[in-house]
Amino acid sequence: MPNARRALRAQTITRSTVVAVIGLSLAVVGGLGGLVVRAVWPAPILPTTFGVGPSALVVIAWLGITWSAVGALLEVRRPDLPIGPLMILVGCGLALSVLTVAVAFAALAEGSTTGRQVASVAGALTALLTPILVFVFYLPFIFPTGRGQSPRWNTIGRIFLWIAMGLAAVLVLQPGDVHLLPGIPNPIGFGPDLRPVFGDVVAGGVDAVGIVMLAPLLIVSVASRYRMAGTIERHQLKWFILAIGVTMGASTIMFLGVVLTKGPIGETPLGEAPLTVFALAASTVPLAIGIAILRYRLFEIDRIVSRTIGYAGITAVLAGVFAVAALSLGLILGSLAEGDTVAVAASTLLVVALFGPVRQRAQTLIDRRFDRSHYDATRTVQALTARLRDDVDIDRVQTDVLGVVDQTFHPAFAGLWLR
């Protein structure tokens, strides 16, 4: 019986290794292959649905390889979880789309009938890779245990997945141009045409419908799991939620940039910058998943959350101070020569002077709420230092020091040696 169990385990490890190697290899070939095609045939990039450009392609290739690399590591280390294979699929979808997009642009720029046909096929392959990305939104239902927190949530997660796949299929089968690549006809398009409903950018409209329908369900699922979780699982979820928060912040910047420049995505003065920022931020999600499941420095999440919120708040406050000061001084000094330059310089000096006090005050307030253990430990050590400064009784010093060490670090055993 032990030999059979050992043989089954070896077979599982071998299968997991093969899956991990093949998945990571496909992602690397797709991502780097797309960049090589761009370097060899630097064809003009057409305006795309989400503003894809040279920098965005590089970052998306990096994003795909990151998802696949972390997924491959999880598949080898935790083959009992379905999260690793799903991450490999997502990474391969992203990386291979870089290759298909690069081929589509190069073939379309060639200008011949054959080139247009190749571009159409490559565009269709790009669209066919879209449904794979739906697994990104399914992961919150099964993270970090590989299943829902209850049989009911398992069923809800599967229903969510089918609905999301249906929305993705609607985009893939849209008649007219490929939904990600306007200007390239979709050879597999049929069914209802949504352009009269959503205009030229059908993908943005369908995505908005999907977010309104499904995002609340995702939030409730994660909140429910967090409420039911133990200490370790809560820390795992904190890593995941932090990465999602960073990504959503980048999404907000992307959306605001498009709205403020008053143009469709990909045709604004910002160009590909919003998509590049979003893809860089999204690369934190696979890294957070890997840290959470492998439990590498898992319990540092509270300090990371507090620092992230702290510096985000400090940045917002100082940006507001700079804007108000520059505007006010610009109006006051507007009649003077070099008035704008003086206003900017004075505002910069004001922000530099305020950085230290604002950072210290903000970090204290945030540590008190999000990193309470570190905050309490710091205050305890400060109080001990103040007491020891004037204390000369050795027995009392020993008792005080050991009590503080036990309260702060909770060791199994502690001793004090005084010379």
If asked whether residues 256 and 350 sit together in one domain, one would say no
Q: Please give the tally of structural domains in the chain.
A: 3
Last residue of a domain, one of 238, 263, 296: 296
Mean pLDDT of 77-84: 88
Position 27 scores a pLDDT of: 92
Confidence tier at 93 by pLDDT (50, 70, 90) = very high
- Check pLDDT > 90 for residue 91: yes
- Check pLDDT > 60 for residue 204: yes
Give the C-alpha separation, 214 to 217, whole Å.
5
pLDDT per position as a tens digit, 27-66: 999 999 988 888 888 777 665 545 566 777 888 899 999 9
Last residue of a domain, one of 296, 327, 351: 296
If asked whether residues 87 and 188 sit together in one domain, one would say yes
- Check pLDDT > 80 for residue 275: no
Query: Per the structure block, which two tokens stand in for 187?
Result: 């050879």
pLDDT per position as a tens digit, 127-156: 888 888 889 889 989 988 888 888 899 899
Residue % of the chain over a pLDDT of 70: 62
If asked whether residues 343 and 261 sit together in one domain, one would say no
- Would 110 be classed as within a structural domain? yes
If asked whether residues 189 and 314 sit together in one domain, one would say no
pLDDT per position as a tens digit, 330-373: 676 655 545 566 666 777 777 677 767 776 776 666 666 555 55
If asked whether residues 265 and 334 sit together in one domain, one would say no
- Would 191 be classed as within a structural domain? yes
- Check pLDDT > 90 for residue 88: yes
Give the C-alpha separation, 151 to 389, whole Å.
59
Is the pLDDT higher at 84 or at 172? 84
If asked whether residues 186 and 166 sit together in one domain, one would say yes
Position 293 scores a pLDDT of: 87
- Would 375 be classed as within a structural domain? no
Confidence tier at 266 by pLDDT (50, 70, 90) = very low
Mean pLDDT of 164-169: 84
Give the C-alpha separation, 244 to 128, whole Å.
25
If asked whether residues 103 and 167 sit together in one domain, one would say yes
Place of tokens 């597999």: 188
If asked whether residues 281 and 361 sit together in one domain, one would say no
Residue % of the chain over a pLDDT of 90: 8
Confidence tier at 375 by pLDDT (50, 70, 90) = low
If asked whether residues 356 and 235 sit together in one domain, one would say no
Position 149 scores a pLDDT of: 86
Give the C-alpha separation, 170 to 106, whole Å.
27
- Check pLDDT > 50 for residue 238: yes
- Structural domain that includes position 396: 385-419
Please, how many CA atoms are within 13 Å of residue 44, restricted to the half-sphere of its CB? 7
Bridge partners (DSSP) listed for residue 181: 178
If asked whether residues 135 and 258 sit together in one domain, one would say yes
pLDDT per position as a tens digit, 252-265: 776 666 665 554 44
Place of tokens 């979003």: 278
DSSP for 77-106 reads H-TT-SHHHHHHHHHHHHHHHHHHHHHHHH
Residue pair 339/330 in contact (Cβ under 8 Å)? The answer is: yes
- Would 325 be classed as within a structural domain? yes
If asked whether residues 203 and 127 sit together in one domain, one would say yes
Q: Average the pLDDT over each of 74-88, 147-161, 174-188 and give the range with the smallest value.
A: 174-188
Q: Closest by alpha carbon to 144, among 70, 238, 218? A: 238
If asked whether residues 366 and 402 sit together in one domain, one would say no
Q: Closest by alpha carbon to 88, among 289, 296, 295, 291? A: 289
Place of tokens 């860089």: 280
- Would 376 be classed as within a structural domain? no
- Would 380 be classed as within a structural domain? no
Position 397 scores a pLDDT of: 67
Residue pair 273/257 in contact (Cβ under 8 Å)? The answer is: yes
Position 262 scores a pLDDT of: 53
Residues 6+ apart with CB under 8 A from 99: 29, 30, 31, 33, 34, 37
Confidence tier at 81 by pLDDT (50, 70, 90) = confident
- Would 290 be classed as within a structural domain? yes
- Would 377 be classed as within a structural domain? no
* Burial class of residue 368 in the structure, from the number of CB atoms within 10 Å of its CB (0-12 exposed, 13-18 middle, 19+ buried): middle
Mean pLDDT taken over the chain: 76
Last residue of a domain, one of 296, 315, 330: 296
**Angle subtended by helix axes 273-282 and 284-294, to nearest 10:** 0
Position 265 scores a pLDDT of: 45
Q: Closest by alpha carbon to 139, among 280, 295, 288? A: 288
Place of tokens 């200008």: 111
